[in-house]
Structure 1
């Protein structure tokens, strides 16, 4: 991967850049700004065609719309999207590669962009940037060889307005390029003395490149003592990769805690890892702590040949220096590349399962 590396940016390429939005829904050359109807038609009524007539789309209740349907070979390089924060957990983003009816990406919009709690928090990572006030950006490389199709499903019972842009290039794709996948799972609450599954039975070859978790704490005390484990290929009961604690996996230490005199938990956001969101109890209805954390394995991808399984424990402390298994609300989005256009995945997210509570 060359994310964050400017080497080669000066090279001339035979690839052709294209962009899809509500102003150019096909991405074809010279077709942007031609719309005469759209969500901005009334505002542009004195100006006419070419003056922001169609800046967004409306998705009806229960409707699925196609954001982009691209024929040929190439790669999506950037997605920008925004909608009201109330809808971040009501819209499901899906990506299908090369005509596969099964999605490789299937996740709530907010979680895909590291914003699982429906509240804005600045994210400054390399593959995902979230900017004021809810500007979602991703720079994951998403290659395809014959077709790329992106859709949005509105699981809400009311229409939703969405602004978006999908930037991509058309051209030859390297033989070794794999397909981007993203899978979302939620344990709410996590059953007693079990682990939260990040991935299960994913087929390769491929490499794991990122984790985002929206973690809701359902008890008092420290909540992140659990280990993150990756079971590679022929691993069964015991994993090849076993971390030392949840905050350690996300790049922090000692409970993320700076001490009461320095504010306790400290939000942070860096190119590869961060905890950009800490939602603190307000003394009234928001009684529980909630956290949003990411780790992107860009310089350190976890490579597997045939299968991959991953999970995280939820552990706190009880008296006598003993671990306390927790039953927290854990929603995870796992990002990985696979040579397959689709692989084992959980059931599709539904409105009831995604609901923030």
Structure 2
């Protein structure tokens, strides 16, 4: 049997000829005709030995690249051996194009590669720290000359600097090309006046990347509520919805660190309130024709205080506006100790020297008991220092540090009774950076509470109408009483214990929790009649009575914060009834109360005749 095959060859060939060419592959440029001349520059040992690194003396610099153009730097890789723990900030990287004297790149080494806090492995598409080495693949074109310099500001020798640079020379660059720029900007302590500036550039170009190294002074991440804002060519072009949103994350980076090709979180420390994050605008560069200004808030409406350091990476035509000079190496350091917000810096204190002793005076907001904390400064020439609150015992601390003007761990001096100001005596070579007087928080912890009672929602207003109504627990606060609560249900006083922070969290006690109110009742014992101050935090509105007298009230939406409301009251000798009404709009619902007690004689109880200080 003879097999016959259909004559389809011509048809298939004609069909193939009519098909469009396949799309180009992502790496098709690799087999295109080569252009330019490859060159590899490194710290290799030119004698053939294994001394493949350079050493940089203290205060000196090293030129990694100095070459004529035209060309493009394709890869930069470095690694450093330094005995200085702060070398990531005190070693600087600078780049100069076309023979300029003001650099186009000026940054601490660690921040340029995304992380000035610590050396930590992460690998993004164009930049990273890959198991010990820093790399950058951002192209850096130049027409006439390229110069790359490393400056040693550590105050001691850099024991080893290894580097590799790969470039292509004698290449034709496109007309009007932009050169590479990078700028480090730090606000060591942000203020409420303005957002943090990431970039202010003039000329024509495009933003291609941003990194952020930030640390809170309150040891939390509330600064992440800040939004980025773009002003392009003099026109406002939009505002973001939160810092972590800008970095393509969410909910305060709740799933932790990661390294993506375009965005990532290198560091997250909830205890310190610290993050290091990056975003590469490679798929979504931000073009500008004559100017670009990019800012980011530190918290909602710049309400948080933090240490902000950012890197902006961009390309633009020359000449560029001169970059501000980098701060001195010591001013770039990551603080090992952060002075909290409540501390008062030295330049805000009244002080005078009396022989070998310096006396500093710190006012306090009210008579109370305070824990006094000193934030000392040390250096190589320091030795032991003695701090003493007038009338109290002294505390000796060793203030020796490897570097001058180093902020050292806090020295607590214990709790003292203060009427109007803390008087600190110090026998010390270097004055401390700050002093803090923290009120001793002895909370009312045992309470009776009753609720919930209705407080209907007033549309368009954040008020609680029932705060202005006289309800049954105000008329008859007897702990044996019962009342009609929400939906007419019978409610009774119940005993509860506040948390370690003094907060009575009503959302854990009552249902429902929105548009309602509840009462809390405790007793305060005083051995004698006289004035004192109650300190209250309440979420949301409140009314407070002492011995039946209405002494404080506030409507609106609030959070329960320690010592938020100061209430002058007069106590009777013996037990004093404290009754508080706390309304909730929606969300959180809590309160906390304490009494200023400079003599340490007051005590709280859930009922008369009980309790402790």
Q: Which category of TM-score, normalised to the shorter sequence, fits these structures?
A: 0.7 to 0.9
The one-character-per-residue Cα deviations of 1:186-232 (angstroms, maximum 9, x if unpaired) are 011112342111112x1121000100111112113532011111111
Give the gaps of 5 or more residues in structure 2.
Answer: 1-24, 336-613
Change (3 A) 1:19 1:103: same
1:156-198 Cα deviation digits (max 9, x unpaired):
2101121111110102222242100000010111123421111
1:180 aligns with 2:180: yes
Relative to structure 1, the CA distance from residue 120 to residue 143 in structure 2 (aligned partners, 3 Å threshold; closer, same or farther) is same
Q: Given that residues 257 and 266 in structure 2 are in contact (C-alpha distance below 8 angstroms), is that contact kept between their aligned partners in structure 1?
A: yes
Is 1:355 the counterpart of 2:355? The answer is: no
Cα shift readout 1:70-97 (whole Å, capped 9, x = no counterpart): 1120100000001137321111111100
Higher relative CO (Cα under 8 Å, sequence separation at least 6) belongs to 1
**Given the alignment, which residue of 25, 32, 37 partners 1:16?**
37
Q: Tell me what 2:299 maps to.
A: 315
Q: Structure 1 unaligned segments of length 5 or more: list them.
A: 24-32, 37-49, 259-265, 282-287, 317-322
Q: Distance in 1 between matches of 2:107 and 2:37?
A: 29
Instruction: Decide whether aligned partners of structure 1 residues 147 and 250 sit closer, same or farther in structure 2, where only a CA change above 3 A counts.
Output: same
Distance 1:326 1:82 in 2: 35
Higher Rg? 2
Shift of 1:111: 0.5
Q: Which residue of 1 aligns with 2:66?
A: 69
Q: Choose which of 246, 249, 255 in structure 2 pairs with 1:249.
A: 246
Q: CA deviation at 1:301?
A: 0.3
1:138 aligns with 136
1:276 to 259, 266, 269: 266
Q: Structure 1 pair 142/221, CA: closer, same or farther in 2 (3 Å)? A: closer
Asked if structure 2 preserves the Cα contact closer than 8 Å seen for 1:91 and 1:153, the reply is yes
Deviation at 1:137, TM superposition (A): 0.4
SS at match of 1:300: coil
Q: Is the 8 A contact 1:179 1:341 kept in 2?
A: no
Q: Which residue of 1 aligns with 2:280?
A: 296
Contact 2:103 2:323 in 1 (8 A): no
Deviation per residue, 1:247-274 (Å, 9 max, x gap)? 100010122124xxxxxxx101111111
Distance 1:83 1:62 in 2: 16
CA deviation string 1:261-306 (max 9, x = no partner)? xxxxx1011111111212343xxxxxx2211100110010000000
Report the more deviating stretch, 338-347 or 290-299: 338-347
Corresponding residue to 1:306 among 286, 290, 294: 290
**Structure that is richer in strand per residue:** 2
1:43 match:
none
1:193 and 1:325 in contact (8 A); partners too: no
The answer as to 2:223 corresponding to 1:223 is yes
Kept in 2: contact 1:193–1:326 (CA 8 A): no
Q: Where does residue 30 of structure 1 map in the other structure?
A: none
Aligned to 1:153: 151
Aligned partner of residue 93 in structure 1, secondary structure: strand
Give the whole-Å Cα distance in 1 for the aligned partners of 2:26 and 2:135.
18
Give the direction of change, closer, same or farther, for the CA distance of 1:221–1:116 in structure 2 (3 Å limit): closer
Q: CA 1:159–1:5 in structure 2 vs 1: closer, same or farther (change >3 Å)?
A: farther
